[in-house]
Amino acid sequence: MKKLIIIPSREASTRLPGKPLARFGGKTLVRHVWEKASAVPNADVCVATDSEKIRDEVFQFGGRVEMTDPNIPTGTDRVIATFDQIGDKSYDCVINLQGDMPFITPEQIITSTLPLNHNFEIGCLVYEMVQAEQNNPNSVKAIVSMGEGNLGRCHWFLRAPLKYGYHHAGIYSFTIPALEKIRKFKQTKFENFEKLEQLRFLENGITMGAMLTTAIDGEINTPEDLDKARRIYGN
């Protein structure tokens, strides 16, 4: 399966401004994520940004970058715009790897594509949610009916407190036909309410499969998350 991994990376994060350029472990966040993606076999990697600072950082460490419109509303919309700019239609799938996922492994990125082999239009990852995350609005909860082989069907996502369900990781694998459908959809009521673009997919009848994986140490969404990453890396 020929894969295109696109990493949306915005400087103007509301919860942690400038986070792609935040440093820990001697590297910027965007570089950590890019290096994980670059270790995936048979995959091309591109950072999608609207920031010249992020562009310059990616160029500095030898990555590929595409500049995109700053008014694009979500990561998935930025991925579609970048896919169009690249113009190569030979890929079997496009992966949206959110730019705040430095602890994901290359193996987990590959695992996110497995639902596509089972007739799902989009694949993603979930893992068991610890009690401390149940009330955290920064932790996205996924309601999934899990079947055999750690593969389940996604029914809904939310930020509200929830005592069941799974923790949703920030990665989506799309078939090319799914991307072509999604580009025609307008943002939906529940997507805007929850600030979760995946609800647009479900509200329009797109099928999403989730693979159950081991826990990922965390995403970098807040100053507290960044402090945790620095503790993990020792600086």
Lowest-pLDDT choice from 2-16, 52-66, 73-87: 2-16
- CA dist list (Å): 125 to 17, 62, 158, 213: 26, 28, 15, 7
Task: Tell which wins on pLDDT, 232 or 208.
Answer: 208
| pLDDT tens column, 110-121 | 999 999 999 999
What lies within 8 Å, CB to CB, of 108 at 6+ separation is 125, 169, 171, 213, 214, 216
Tell whether the model's pLDDT for residue 15 goes beyond 80. no
Superfamily name and number for 1-100: Spore Coat Polysaccharide Biosynthesis Protein SpsA; Chain A (3.90.550.10)
For residue 37, the model assigns a pLDDT of 98
First to last CA, the chain: 38
Rounded Cα distance, 186 and 9, in Å: 22
Token pair belonging to 216: 């990922």
**Other C-beta atoms within 10 Å of 85: how many?**
12
Q: How confident is the model over 212-231, as a mean pLDDT?
A: 91
Rounded Cα distance, 123 and 137, in Å: 23
For residue 233, the model assigns a pLDDT of 86
Rounded Cα distance, 83 and 8, in Å: 12
Rounded Cα distance, 153 and 115, in Å: 9
pLDDT averaged over every residue in the chain: 95
| pLDDT tens column, 162-192 | 988 999 999 999 999 999 999 999 999 999 9
Rounded Cα distance, 33 and 1, in Å: 21
For residue 13, the model assigns a pLDDT of 77
Say if domain 104-169+176-216 classifies as CATH 3.90.550.10.
Answer: yes
For residue 30, the model assigns a pLDDT of 98
Q: Report pTM.
A: 0.95
* pLDDT interval class at 234 (50, 70, 90): confident
The ranges of the chain annotated as CATH 3.90.550.10 are 1-100, 104-169+176-216
